[in-house]
Structure 1
Amino acid sequence: MKNINKLVLLGSLFLTACTTTPEKCDPSISDPSFLDKLGCVASGSYEKRVNAKSQEIKDLAAQQKALSESVIELENQRSAIISDRATRLAEMDKINDNLFSLESALKQKNAMTKELQAKINNVKNSSEAVKNLDDNASIMEKTAKLAQLKKQYSELLDNMSLSISK
């Protein structure tokens, strides 16, 4: 009789273990009973849950690493944009200073003609347009506008040297 009781007890434990699902073993969903806990251990549900959580942690760590690398890349791009902007502003300031000096020198020498004044004003307007470009404009657009401004300034100097040499 004792053996039958032991056999029934072992059989019920075995059947409980077979019917135990990983969801029943999740303590965050419900508190499993003693027999459910035995079933979780016997069926390997605890081990599966531990493995799943370990894999989830590894996946999250990899995702965090990728996000950290993205943040570093964005910071590098940000510093490059700031550096590029500072360079462009310095070049624009240099052109504006040279333009102002040129205009002053022409006025002192009474060599200012309407044509030169119009070209100087055109370069000044272009300079203001470049300076007032929207911050959302692309770097390529800003660089192209600055190159166009440099070209206009260079053409102004060429025209001035031609008109003075005549």
Structure 2
Amino acid sequence: MTVQRSLMILALAAGLAGCATTPGECDPTNRDAGFLTKLSCDTSGAYRAGIDQKEQALVSAQEENQMFRQVYEDIAQRQAASQQKLSEQKKKQAALNASMGRLLKQLQARHADDARVQNELKDLQQALKQSQQSGTNGGNAAAVAAKQKELAALQQKVATLQKSLGYQ
């Protein structure tokens, strides 16, 4: 009976020692942990809690990664839209240049003998060339504002010419 009692006390002591493990001690990669410590970690659910915690961290990281992908996709779409707007602006500028060129040629031919009109046409043609050369310089806000200012000045010169020719 004393042997049995000694084994029971030893088992009880081992069981209590195993229950005294902390979650920090329950690292499955720890090779120095004893059998009872590993058994305690396994039965107490500390291993499962560690796995659940790492799975939750993985899910959070995957969600954040998806958000980054969405941001990059939105940036790419914005860049594409910006490029599209820039190409539209270039097309509109080309159309303006073509129509202005036709108008200037027709007015020069029609008013070839009027020196005052020829001077105004020359000024207008020079302003158009300057506008064509300046471009939009990459499309930044300052360049766009400068371009709008140039176009407003060009529009004013066209209006002045139109009035001087008697067109309303």
Aligned to 1:90: 91
CA drift of 1:149 comes to 4.0
Aligned twin of 2:6: 4
Q: Does 1:66 align with 2:67?
A: yes
Q: Relative contact order, CA 8 A, sep 6+: which one is greater?
A: 1
Shift of 1:24: 3.1
The percent of aligned pairs where both chains have the same amino acid is 17
1:79: which partner in 2? 80
Structure number with greater Rg is 2
CA distance in 1, matches of 2:102, 2:68: 51
1:114 is the counterpart of 2:115:
no
TM-score, normalisation: structure 2: 0.76
SS, match of residue 7 in structure 1: helix
Q: Distance in 2 between matches of 1:120 and 1:26?
A: 81
- 1:97-139 CA distances to partner (integer Å, 9 max, x unpaired)? 122223322333325522332233123313322x15135x24x
Q: TM-score, normalised by structure 1?
A: 0.77
Q: How far off is 1:49 after superposition?
A: 0.4
Output the amino acid matched with 2:54.
K
Alignment of structure 1 residues 85-164 onto 2, 5 Å: 85-109=86-110, 110=112, 112-129=117-134, 131-135=135-139, 137-138=140-141, 141-164=142-165
Consecutive aligned runs of 4 or more in structure 1 exceeding 4 Å deviation = none
Output the aligned Cα RMSD. Answer: 2.6
Greater mean deviation of Cα atoms: 40-49 or 83-92: 40-49
Deviation at 1:146, TM superposition (A): 4.4
Change (3 A) 1:132 1:72: closer
Deviates more, 1:144-153 or 1:88-97: 144-153
38-47 vs 146-155, which moves further = 146-155
Task: In structure 1, list runs of 5 or more residues that go unmatched.
Answer: none
